[in-house]
Amino acid sequence: MFPPSEQTFIAFQQRPTSAHVSLGSLRHNLQAIQSFVGTAKVMAVVKANGYGHGFDAVARELESAGAHSLGVAYIEEALELRRIGIKIPVLVFGGLLKEQLELYIRHDIDVTASSVTKMAQIEEAAGRLGRRARVHLKIDTGLERIGVHYYSSPSLFDEALRAKHCDIVGVYSHFADVRPEDLSLARLQLERFLNSLRYYEERAQAPFLRHIAASGGIMALTDSHLDLVRPGIALYGVYPAPGFEPVLSIRPVLKLKSQVVYFKVVKKGAGVSYGHQWAAPQDTRVVTIPIGYGDGYLRALSGSDVLIRGSRRPIVGAICMDQLMVNIGQGEAFNGDEVILVGEQGQDRVSVEELAKRSGVSPYEILVTLNQRVPRVFSA
């Protein structure tokens, strides 16, 4: 077995498929968001392997670029950030078990208190360890995921006010639906959140951060910026859904590329790939590309376009676990030719948003399903 450093070298040298991540574009996007939200602080969300871009490198770049804090889904992600030397605050959004609390407190990780019981457990753990816990209170204003209902929030606020070993760093909620064409639910949630906060604001002994806006709220509902925003997908240069105006000057951070590894002529009427969902309408040149759903390039992307020699070419047949086939018609392509699955080539570009629309999945899925089998190559 090769040592880890040599394994990495071999992967980069031999795998024709790779994801290229521009840390310069990531830094640009953070600065664009910070400029747009003014005095609000920015919590950069890096969960799910930095939205598929590479956890450690992305987190380090965002800390260096001035992010106020980082957001993750699980305690394991937060511990990895501390392991690599991240010093800024890290908030874990997800639900927790009592047995995990010692890890939060010992590693100075911000914990979400989503109920009266959880708040009491955090206080007990902090007192037992003789340390202070950093806490964000979670209010459910309409998502019905975790968090105390907005109409029951005084009970959570009272429990937090009684705590002697906790610093209440923030109070937050999360939008269930931010669509530019219909912001009615988002506005209702914001109203519920702000109304529930009045109870705590009148009683709190120390300042705290109010936050509710992720990427959609940042772009479409500026009233929701409050004290802190939590951009996720926008940081990576992708819009969360169709219909958003380009109010941010963000740049795509990721480029997914591969190479042609096989060329053949498929005879008229011959089927291609599993199930023969596509058959050649005439003698057709087809090339094989070494990426598939085993890499996170979803089977739902069958029929999408790639770029070869500056031209759009459609994927034909079902995407396989490790390979896919592309119809180049009567065009030319040779083994080793670059293939762009996400990004620019020549005068054209395949965007994450385009792939999401074609395949019927969300832009988030296009990014986060790209797994560790695909080497990441970072550039400044």
* Whether domain 254-379 has CATH 2.40.37.10: yes
Is 297 designated active site?
Answer: no
- DSSP assignment letter at 133: E
At 2 the pLDDT is 42
Which residue, 158, 183, 314, is CA-closest to 243? Answer: 183
Out of 98, 151, 267, 274, pick the active-site residue.
274
Q: What is the mean pLDDT of residues 351-358?
A: 96
Average model confidence (pLDDT) across the chain:
96
Backbone phi, psi, residue 65, to 5°:
-80, -5
| Fold agreement between 39-236 and 254-379 | no
Is 41 designated active site?
Answer: no
Percent of the chain topping pLDDT 70: 97
Which residue, 167, 173, 74, 61, is CA-closest to 114? Answer: 173
> Which numeric CATH code is attached to 39-236?
3.20.20.10
Backbone phi, psi, residue 35, to 5°:
-65, -40
At 7 the pLDDT is 45
Q: What is the mean pLDDT of residues 312-325?
A: 98
CA 355 to chain centre: 16
For 35-44, write each residue's pLDDT tens digit: 999 999 999 9
At 1 the pLDDT is 41
Out of 41, 47, 118, 255, pick the active-site residue.
47
What is the token pair recorded at 333?
Answer: 């392509």
For 226-266, write each residue's pLDDT tens digit: 999 999 999 999 999 999 999 999 999 999 999 999 999 99
Position 11 pLDDT exceeds 70: no
Domain regions of the chain by residue span: 39-236, 254-379
Backbone phi, psi, residue 6, to 5°:
-75, -35
At 84 the pLDDT is 98
**CB of 73 closer than 8 Å to CB of 97:** no
The length of the chain in residues reads 380
For 80-98, write each residue's pLDDT tens digit: 999 999 999 999 999 899 9
pTM: 0.94
**CB of 283 closer than 8 Å to CB of 265:** yes
Q: How confident is the model at residue 14 (pLDDT cuts 50, 70, 90)?
A: confident
At 5 the pLDDT is 47
**CB of 96 closer than 8 Å to CB of 112:** yes
Look at phi and psi of residue 343 and say left if phi exceeds 0, alpha if psi is from -120 to 50, else beta. Answer: left
At 141 the pLDDT is 98
Q: How confident is the model at residue 6 (pLDDT cuts 50, 70, 90)?
A: very low
Position 10 pLDDT exceeds 60: no
Distant-in-sequence, close-in-space partners of 314: CB < 8 Å, separation ≥ 6: 303, 304, 305, 326, 327
Q: How confident is the model at residue 13 (pLDDT cuts 50, 70, 90)?
A: low
